[in-house]
Chains A and B, each alone.
Chain A
Amino acid sequence: MSDLPLVGLPADVRPERTTTAAAGKSRKVRRLNGRDKLVLGFMVGIPTLIQAVFIWIPMLLSVALSFTKWNGLALSDIKSNGLQNYKFVVQDYPPFWPAVQHNIIWLAFLALVATPIGLLLAVLLDQKIKGSRIYQSIFFTPVMLSLVLVGIIWQLMYEKDNGLINNLLRTANTPNATDWYGNSSINLWAALVAATWRHAGYIMVLYLAGLKGVDPSLKEAAAIDGATASQTFFRVVFPAMRPINIVVVVITIIEALRAFDIVYIINRGTNGLELISALIVQNLVGEGQVIGVGSALSVMLLVISLVPITIYLVRTFKKVD
């Protein structure tokens, strides 16, 4: 917004200058005229405004609300609460620490299992095998499916008495049937399998693009030097995909932090499936709204999220400079 009046000024001034100064002509080509600046101002200003209204202002309000107690009704009901909300979350809110733990497990599982599976799929499909396109589509489909469908599909798999898995194991309708969603020591892993199903397809597509971008002469050179296939991959191809690797690392971390949908579909993130994001929704949206606590939780998640984002941005901008 503040750009606009500034842009207006040179527009009035310039025509006089160019007529008086003869050397102005060459400069005029390089410089932006008033109209350009106005357009640029709009193009930068409007997204900035949208960003501010929809992300930065709510975020700052959220930080402010995390130090208050409020019932979500009249603004006059907002009362300062110091650090009490944070204290409540850390000390008295039983689902919080399990949620932190589950987010860490989620991250470890995505990083150590799901992402390598995606990489493996990409490497396999990058070979010139028959029907590679079809496999690609199949593995990528889960990424495109709507949440409701994902929920239904896995419900069909995991249901205790009618689900596919227990029927294949022949335990359905017996006392030995595994309660995939209800048993709190299993359901996190069941959810992680579902998450992997989506995540691997996503990573696969990224790496496929990365592999296509690797200069084939590198591989040939390595082969001529007598490297085996695995040596070629790990010593030559993989390091050559550095930019993609960074993107994948960031995406994996972000996916682990914002993991929400699958647990929310299963049981709204209770009973062994607590995640920070699910707790935020529980506290901010809905009848059981406790805005101060929900805001405190979201500020905590924001701070955690800022770490990988900052690392990523620093690395990206370093390269540009």
Chain B
Amino acid sequence: MAPQESAPSAAETESGFSRRTVLKGIGFGAAGIAAAPVLAACTGGSKPSSGGGGGGGAASKSVTVGSGSSDDVPKRAYQAVFDAFKAQSGDTVKVNTVPHNDFQNNINSYLQGSPDDVFTWFAGYRMRYYAGKSLVAPVDDVWDSIGSNFSDALKQASTGDDGKKYFVPNYNYPWGYFYRKSLWASKGYQVPKTFDELKTLCAQMKKDGLIPIGFADKDGWPAMGTFDYINMRTNGYQFHVDLCAHKESWDQQKVKDVFDNWKALLPFQDPSALGATWQEAAQNLGKQKSGMYLLGSFVTQQFTDKKVLADIDFFPFPAMAVEGQDSVEAPIDGLMLTKKAANNQAAKDLLKFMGSGKGQDAYASIDTSNLQTAKDADTSKFNALNKKSAEIIANAKHISQFFDRDALPAMANNVMIPALQKFIKDGSIDTKNLEAQAKSLYAAQ
């Protein structure tokens, strides 16, 4: 059996019944087996275009892109980038867009099968992991020409464990507490700078009949944002990095402190969080049912009413024990090069274009909820919210990605999601068990 086939077949290696259930899941567009052939089918046509590596890259004037940006706005935004690239270079770009959950879930088999030349991905552990497994190609020569366009923090975020660069950033976005200015002004609320002020504000909001903190965790991952922030504010940025890499044990007082601190916020969170999606929580914020909501700035995509959108503001997570508000959670999205496109000059040109202000501006012209990362990007069209976001990121001493981007995916998906959901439900956490699971899962990689 060829190595690239082993991942999908392993997914099939269940009893007949569960195999059938998996096949059923495909109907819902969620299971991996289905999408692997779909991805393969999409990329089938791209093989000749990439020149197969043997023919050298110079002749290749076309590039295929595997995109997980399947939502309407990001999809159109990426199309704008590719159109602009086509207009500038004359190279043709073929895009294969896959629903983003499927794209992420199938990335293993995708990269081992017949992937596109370039694909959309994230910085952080999720990038370094595949770089370490040599499933993606280094892009140091691209960085030679775009390097001066990025801050050191972004350079660092694009570097693999072997010191080579593997990633070209497109945009990032900060996580913070979003709120409606008009509601806060009418009630006289002040932006809390410290955790104690936050708790006092929450108590006041509760008295005023609001849900102080909008919260939604049906999908499991949004709660990680709160965990990350309380962890970084309690134990510092480096502890977040080491904990995500499992260089620190989960079964220690520092982790327990995080949950103890969070417990103070639990009574103020939306009690129906476990049945709600972030989109629903965003709607509650828009309708002024909840006072504030901790999420990435993509939350603004939900406010289609211009008046509501103009009324949205945010503040960084309040200071707690250490490092003030130095750390900001600001995940970076961008492009990577697959192994097979290592010699495809058109693909590298596309990455260079993505690393230029011009390319990123093309994206931002459609998707305004994110921030360009290149220094020469045009920020004149920024709205007030963008400006504030950019400022907060620029002033941050440490930029974290997100728990599920900084940690082992199995740890984030299989361990943290159920653990955090249980914590949100009854305020209990078993750090000893978290450590036992982490030990076993990190050892399996």
Contacts and interface: CB of A to CB of B under 8 A. Distances in A.
Interface stretch (A13-21, A56-64, A115-123, A238-246): A56-64
Interface string B11-25: 111111111111011
A284 B443 CA distance: 17
Nearest to B211: A175
Is chain A's binding surface mostly helix, strand, loop or mixed?
A: helix
B275 A181 contact: yes
Nearest to B133: A73
B412 A288 contact: yes
A123 B419 CA distance: 47
A252 interface: no
A150 to B, nearest CB: 10
A182 B276 contact: yes
Given A55-B16, A257-B17, A288-B414, A179 B421 contact: no
A102 to B, nearest CB: 13
Interface in A76-123: 81, 84, 88, 91-95
Contacts of A298: 13-15, 18
Nearest to A151: B28
Nearest to A175: B271
A156 to B, nearest CB: 14
Is chain B's binding surface mostly helix, strand, loop or mixed?
A: helix
B444 A270 contact: no
A184 B425 contact: yes
A21 to B, nearest CB: 48
Contact of A147 (B28, B108, B112, B274): B28
Nearest to A58: B13
Contacts of A277: 17-18, 21
A282 interface: yes
A302 B19 CA distance: 10
B329 to A, nearest CB: 19
A258 B18 CA distance: 6
Interface residues of B, number: 65
B204 interface: no
Contacts of A267: 218-220
Contact of A301 (B17, B27, B107): B17
Interface stretch (A133-141, A228-236, A289-297): A289-297
B433 A94 contact: yes
Interface of B: 1, 3, 6-7, 9-22, 24-25, 27-33, 104-108, 112, 133, 135, 218-220, 271-276, 409-414, 417-419, 421-422, 425, 430, 433, 436-437, 440-441, 443-445
9 A-B pairs with the lowest CB-CB distances in the bound complex, closest first:
A182-B275, A288-B413, A62-B13, A302-B15, A285-B32, A286-B105, A260-B21, A298-B14, A69-B444
Given A55-B19, A70-B444, A290-B410, 5 more contacts: A61-B13, A73-B3, A88-B440, A277-B18, A286-B413
27 contacts: A54-B12, A55-B19, A70-B10, A73-B7, A74-B3, A84-B440, A93-B437, A146-B27, A147-B28, A179-B272, A181-B275, A182-B218, A259-B21, A260-B18, A260-B25, A261-B28, A267-B218, A271-B422, A285-B11, A285-B25, A285-B31, A287-B107, A287-B409, A287-B413, A288-B414, A295-B10, A301-B14
